[in-house]
């Protein structure tokens, strides 16, 4: 046997041992023997002294550094390691003090004067158990029930969690995470107390206030308020402006949602219905409905020229027939519209071009009765509007 090894040495192994070695030598394979004596002495292993494991339910509990070792022993040398690495750890003393930012395992290796070593670990645990109250529960005026824990989040620690709900008199009324309570709210006012814990006996406590929210009252106004023309920007303003969210709808289609109480658009068609729904702590209220009217017109399909007077009714292109607000088929005076009109005869010959309206003449002479064709354009804000059609010139007596 060469270099015998025995693990887990004990004191009963101590004593005098005789060692004999045999081997063959030379071509004649002569067997030779050698013997010797050795004395085996067994030393006790050092005992590392470490503190009991620590548990802090949150980082704020670890106010001062804590000791992780014990009293020094003569003849021992000390070496500490940590996982994760603690840069502030003093590694060569018996009892360092530590204050880690996160859960850390500290391992101590001690070596005695005979070179024997032993290791032991201590855990400084900082629990990640956390309870966050994002908001207090809200009960809308038109609701009868509310969940008390719907805005509370619990994470980390060691599940399963425990839950305790008590009133201000200390009476427990639920052990559920998110109990449902109903009106009347008197037993739960002005607040209730919620305590959550984990299996490591870490606890968080919060006061939970139930907010009884009135239905938002919102009013919608438009500018301009009565009539707009195609392409014109119309501004809708919801008041008051202190609600959390405003949802603007056009014909029940959501167009804008967010904290802004003003909505602008140039994409309105006639008779569109606009409303806003305001939200406050999740409670909603609906505004009045605004019906948008557009000024839309076509040019008339006939006119009677008049040589004697500059009458709007006697010049083609000075008024239109169509919709003005909520009035159908009304006369729309085009003063200020800046209508550009071009008139052709049936052969495509240009008879008139300008902004004053056509008086039914060409080169100073009245045209013959009959059908003529036109192209009219005007700008409505940033939008160019073009009207094409035909008009019949009527000459009385012909």
pLDDT of 307 higher than 60 = no
| pLDDT top residue among 21 and 189 | 189
Residue 330: its pLDDT value, please? 43
25's tokens: 């030598």
Pairing type for strands 117-126 and 54-56 reads: parallel
List 376's β-bridge partners, or say none. Answer: 341, 387
CATH fold, domain 296-393, is: Immunoglobulin-like (2.60.40)
Mean pLDDT (the chain, rounded): 86
**Every domain of the chain and the residues it spans:** 54-126, 132-213, 219-292, 296-393
- The least confident of 38-42, 86-90, 158-162, 266-270 is 38-42
Contact, 324 vs 227, CB < 8 A? Answer: yes
Domains 132-213 and 219-292 are alike in CATH topology? yes
User: What is the arithmetic mean of pLDDT over 20-27?
Assistant: 69
Q: Is the pLDDT of residue 393 over 60?
A: yes
**Which pLDDT value is given to residue 269?**
74
Domain covering 132-213, topology: Immunoglobulin-like (2.60.40)
CA proximity to 118, closest of 77, 72, 84, 85: 77
SS3 category, 111: strand
DSSP 3-state of 94: coil
pLDDT computed for residue 231 by the predictor? 72
Average pLDDT in the 309-327 region? 56
The two structure tokens encoding residue 185: 């709210």
CA distances from 120 to 50, 68, 94 (A): 7, 11, 12
pLDDT at 293: 79
CB 367 within 8 A of CB 361: yes
Q: Are strands 350-354 and 370-380 parallel, antiparallel or unpaired?
A: unpaired
56: exposed, middle or buried (Cβ count in 10 Å: 0-12, 13-18, 19+): middle
Mean pLDDT of 284-288: 97
The answer, yes or no, to whether residue 233 has pLDDT greater than 90, is: no
Q: Can you tell me the distance from the alpha carbon of 57 to that of 80, in angstroms, rounded to the nearest whole number? A: 25
Q: Tally Cβ neighbours within 10 Å of residue 122.
A: 21
- Contact, 193 vs 168, CB < 8 A? yes
What single-letter DSSP state applies at residue 347? T
CA atoms within 13 A on the CB side of 13: 12
Q: How confident is the model at residue 335 (pLDDT cuts 50, 70, 90)?
A: very low
Residue 241 has what pLDDT? 97
For 359, half-sphere exposure in the C-beta direction (CA atoms, 13 angstrom radius) is 13
Task: Output the CATH code of domain 54-126.
Answer: 2.60.40
**pLDDT at 7 exceeding the cut of 70:** no
Out of 223-232, 367-376, 389-398, least confident range = 223-232
Architecture of the 219-292 domain: Sandwich (2.60)
What pLDDT is stored for residue 380 in this prediction?
65
Reduced to 3 states, what is the DSSP secondary structure of residue 250? strand
Q: At residue 10, does pLDDT exceed 70? A: no
Q: Do 108 and 50 form a contact (C-beta atoms < 8 A)?
A: yes
What pLDDT digit, counting tens, does each position of 28-68 carry? 666 677 777 776 667 788 999 999 999 999 999 999 999 99
Residue 384 exposed, middle or buried by CB count within 10 Å (0-12, 13-18, 19+): exposed
Work out whether the CA dihedral 82, 87, 91, 97 comes out positive or negative. Answer: negative
The percent of residues in the chain predicted with pLDDT above 70, rounded, is 83
Of the candidate ranges 5-14, 165-174, 256-265, the one whose mean pLDDT is the lowest? 5-14
3-class SS at 318? coil
Least confident range from 20-29, 138-147, 357-366: namely 20-29
Report for 2-6, 20-24, 135-139, 185-189: range of highest mean pLDDT:
135-139
Strands 296-298 and 319-324: antiparallel
pLDDT per residue over 179-223, tens digit each?
999 888 888 888 999 999 999 999 999 999 998 899 999 999 999
Is the pLDDT at 79 greater than 70? The verdict is: yes
Give the model's confidence band at 14: pLDDT under 50 very low, under 70 low, under 90 confident, else very high. Answer: low
């Amino acid at each position: 046997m060469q270099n015998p090894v025995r693990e887990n040495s004990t004191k009963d192994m101590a004593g005098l041992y005789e060692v004999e070695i045999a081997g063959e030598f030379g071509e004649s394979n002569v067997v030779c023997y050698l013997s010797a004596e050795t004395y085996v002495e067994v030393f006790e292993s050092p005992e590392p002294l470490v503190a009991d494991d620590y548990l802090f339910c949150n980082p704020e509990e670890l106010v001062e550094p804590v000791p992780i070792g014990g009293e020094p022993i003569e003849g021992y040398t000390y070496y500490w390691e940590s996982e994760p690495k603690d840069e502030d750890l003093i590694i060569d003393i018996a009892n360092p003090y530590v204050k880690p930012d996160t859960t850390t395992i500290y391992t101590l290796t001690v070596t005695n004067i005979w070179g024997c070593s032993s290791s032991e670990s201590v855990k400084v645990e900082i629990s990640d158990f956390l309870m966050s109250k994002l908001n207090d529960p809200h009960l809308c005026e038109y609701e009868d029930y509310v969940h008390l824990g719907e805005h509370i989040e619990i994470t980390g620690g060691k599940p399963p969690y425990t839950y305790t709900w008590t009133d201000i008199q200390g009476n427990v009324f639920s052990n559920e995470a998110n109990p449902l309570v109903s009106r009347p709210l008197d037993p739960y006012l002005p607040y209730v107390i919620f305590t959550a814990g984990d299996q490591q006996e870490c606890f968080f406590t919060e006061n939970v206030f139930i907010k009884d929210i009135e239905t938002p009252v919102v009013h919608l106004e438009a500018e301009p308020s009565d009539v707009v023309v195609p392409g014109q920007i119309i501004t809708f303003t919801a008041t008051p402006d202190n609600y959390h969210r405003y949802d603007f709808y056009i014909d029940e289609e959501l167009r804008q949602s967010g904290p802004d109480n003003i909505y602008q658009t140039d994409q309105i068609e006639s008779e569109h219905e606009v409303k806003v729904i305001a939200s406050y702590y999740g409670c909603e209220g609906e505004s009045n409905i605004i019906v948008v009217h557009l000024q839309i017109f076509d040019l008339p399909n006939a006119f009677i020229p008049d040589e004697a007077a500059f009458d709007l009714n006697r010049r083609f292109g000075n008024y239109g027939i169509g919709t003005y607000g909520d009035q159908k088929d009304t006369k729309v005076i085009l003063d200020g519209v800046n209508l550009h009109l071009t008139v052709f005869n049936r052969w495509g010959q240009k008879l008139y071009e300008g902004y004053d309206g056509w008086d039914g003449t060409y080169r100073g002479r009245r045209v013959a009765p009959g059908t003529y064709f036109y192209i009219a354009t005007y700008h409505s804000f940033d939008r160019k509007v073009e009207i094409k059609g035909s008009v019949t010139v009527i000459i009385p007596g012909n």
